[in-house]
A and B are shown apart, each in its own frame.
Chain A
Amino acid sequence: MLLQFNGYHGTNLSAAKQIISSNYELSVGDDEWLGDGVYFFIKGISSTPEVQAEKWAIAHSWDNTRKARRYKRFCVLSSVIQVEEENFLDLTNEDGVEILSYLFDKFEKKLKKLGKGFKPVDGLLINLAVGEGILPIEVVKGNFYIKFAKERIKRINLRTSNSTICTVYNPIKNIISSNIIKIGDIKDETK
C-alpha cells in the first residue's frame, strides 16, 4: 500500500531555492535523531507542523558561538512524501519500536562475543540498517522533543515529545514535489 503525506521543512531562503531547483541534500550526523536523511515536521503530536517548521528555521538561524544570525530570512517548504508501507518504519507505534529493538538485540548479542558493549543510539542503528541493507527502510517517523527558540533561550528541556518528525533517506525517490509556502524576516526579539 502506497502511503502519501505532507512534510514541512524549515530553512533559509537561499537553501530553499536550492532545494526547489535541485532537490534536498541529506542532513548528516544527526545520530541522536533518526540518522542521516532529510528531516520534516509532519502531522502527529502537533496539528500544525508547518508552524513548527517555521519556528525551527528561526531557532536554527541563531549561531550561538558568534552570537549572530546565520541568515535573516526564513522559508518553509511543503513536500509531498510517498513511500510503500513495507519501506516505512513508524517508531510512534509498537510495530516500529519492536523492529528497532529486535535489530539492537541482535547487534548487541553478536558483539558480546568480543566482550564489547555499545550504547544503543537510534540514529546510528537506523544508519546501520539503511547503509548495510539490513532493513528495506526508506522513510522513518518518530516523536521527539524539539527545542525551538523559546526552549533554547529559557533552557526548557522536557522529556515529553512535542513534535512528530519524519526522515527521508532517498529524497530523489520518495519526495514527489516541493513548494515554498512561506517566506519571512527573522526579528531579533523572540516572544
Chain B
Amino acid sequence: MGNVLKERKQNSFMSLQNLVKVYPNGEKAVYNFDLDIAKNEFIVIVGPSGCGKSTTLRMIAGLEDISGGDIYLESELLNYKPSSERKMAIVFQSYALYPQMTVYNNIAFPLTINKYPMPKENAVLKANAEIEKLLSTVAWNKFIGVLFNVYNGNGKAKDEQIATIFGITLYAAKLLYKAFGAYCRETLESLDGKAEEISVAIRAELKPLVEAENAKVQESGVKLDEDFCEVDGDGNKIIEPRKYTPYEIKTRVYETAEKLDLIPYLDKLPKELSGGQMQRVALGRAIIKNVPVFMMDEPLSNLDAKLRLSMRSEIVKLHNRIGATTIYVTHDQTEAMTMASRIVVMSRGFIQQIGTPEEVYQDPANIFVAKFIGSPSMNVFNIYYDPESGCLERNDVKIPLKAEFKKRHDEFYATAVNKFEGLQSNFDEKAREEILKILSSTGEYKDEKKQQKKKGLIALIKRLIEKQKNKKIVVDEYAYEKEVLGEKLAQLKTNATAKHGLLVGIRPERIKIEKVVAGKKYKGVVKVKSTVVELLGGEYNIHFDLFDKDMVCKLDATEKVTTDDELAVSFSPDDLYIFDFVTGDRI
C-alpha cells in the first residue's frame, strides 16, 4: 500500500490521497477524496450544494485544515504548508476584490506582498551589455528619435518609457537617460549627424561604472554567467527571494491586464465595475502570481446567464493559453460538461464518479451521476425484471433485453450479496462509510438521524446525568447503519433470484417520439399525451407521463406540438441504463 502511494506521488503532477475533512462538531464533510491530477488538466468538481466540493477545494488551497490524507504537488507534501506557499491561486465566487484599492492595486497586490525567488543579477554589467547591444543593433535615427521624443515629450517617468520602448532594464534606461541629458536641447536634425559623438559620450558615461563594478565582482569572487546572473560552482544560477521593483510590478500588471482586456479600467475601483469585469480582475490577480495551479470556487455563479456563457469559454481559453492546471468547483453540470477535461462528481462528501465528460455522460457509474449529469436530466422510472423471461415489464409494456444481461445481472447480485455479507460479519468504521456512500448515491440519506445537541447549560447537565445513568449499557453507535445494512442485504438476496424491481433510465434525446397521425398503424410504441411543451427555439422539450413518472424528451421543432397532443413514444433497449435500486449502482 505504502509503495503504491509513493509511486503515485512521484508519477502524477498533483496527487490528492484519501483526503478527509471532519469538522470540530464531529460532522464529516469529505470522505476519502482520492484523485491524481496530470499537468494542464482542467478538473471540475461538481455536485449539489453541501456535497463537500468547496471544502475539498479549500483543503487543497490551505484555507481549511486537513483531517486526514495527503496532498502532493510535484512530489512535494503540502499538508502543513500555509496557503501562501502552496503555489496556487484562488478565485472566489464573490470575487474577493479589495474594495478600497483600484483595479491596478488589486492585481498588483500579490506582487507587493511577497518576496519571490529570482536569480541574482548584476544590474550594472547587465545594463552595460544592454546599452552596447542597443548602440550596435538599433538603427541610429530610430534610436536617437525615440530618446529625443521621450525626453522632450510629455508624461512622467521618462526612464520607464525608455525601458518599455527598448525592452531594457530600468537601470539601463536611467543610465541612458542621464547620458543623453546633455544633448536634449539640440534639434533632431543636428543630433542625427552626431552619431559618433553621442555614442562615445554614452560609453564614456558607462565606462567608470563598469570598471568599478568589475573590480568589485573580482574582489568578491562571485562568478557571473552570460546573463550576468550570479552562479554557484556548478554553473547554476543563485536564486534569491526578493521583492519586485515598482517598475517590474508595473510591467507585469500591464501584461496581465492586457491579457484580460482590463487596461481601460486600471484606475477604477471595484464598485465601479460590472460583475464580469470584477471576475476578470479576480482572474488577473490569480494569473499574476504565476503559479502552476488555479483553484476556482464557483467563479461564475454571480454572473448573469449570458455573461456566464462567454466567461466560460474565456476561462477555458485562458487555461489553455497559460498552460495552467485548474481545479474548478461548480454546482452547474453544464459548466462541468463544457469546461472539464475530467469531471469529479460528488454527493454527500463522497466521490461518485471520476471521468471525462463523455464517460460521465455515456457511462454513469450509479443512479446519482446519471440523474445529476445532463440537461434535461435523465428520465428514471421503476420497472419489474423477470429473470425467467429476461424481460422488463410494467403493466402491459414488455421490453425484451439481450441474453447477456441476465449473466451480468446474476453476477452483479452475487458480488453485491457477497460484499454485504462481508460487511455484516465485520462491521467497522469502514463498513459504515461504505453504507453511507451507498446512501449518498441512492439519495436515501436521512438527516434526522443526527440529532442536534441541545445548547445551554441545563441541557448539558441533563446530558451528563443521562450519560452517568447509561454508563453500564453499551450503546451501539452503528445501530442505524447496521439496520440499513440488514435491510439492504435482505433485499439483495431476494433480488438475486426472484422477480424484482429495477430503476431504468433513458436520456431525453434517446426517446423516439412522433405525433400520432390518425389512421397510421403503430407497432411497438406507447401512446401518451403531452402535459407540458417547452419550445427552446430549434427544438421542443416535451413532458409526458409514463409509468407514473414525469418524463421529458426532445423533439425537433419542425411541426407544431401543443399540450394534450397524442404522441407515440418508443425507445431501443440498448439505450436504457439499468440500475439496482438497493445499491444505486449500474448493472
A and B bound?
no
A residues with CB within 8 A of B: none
Chain B residues in contact with chain A, CB under 8 A? none
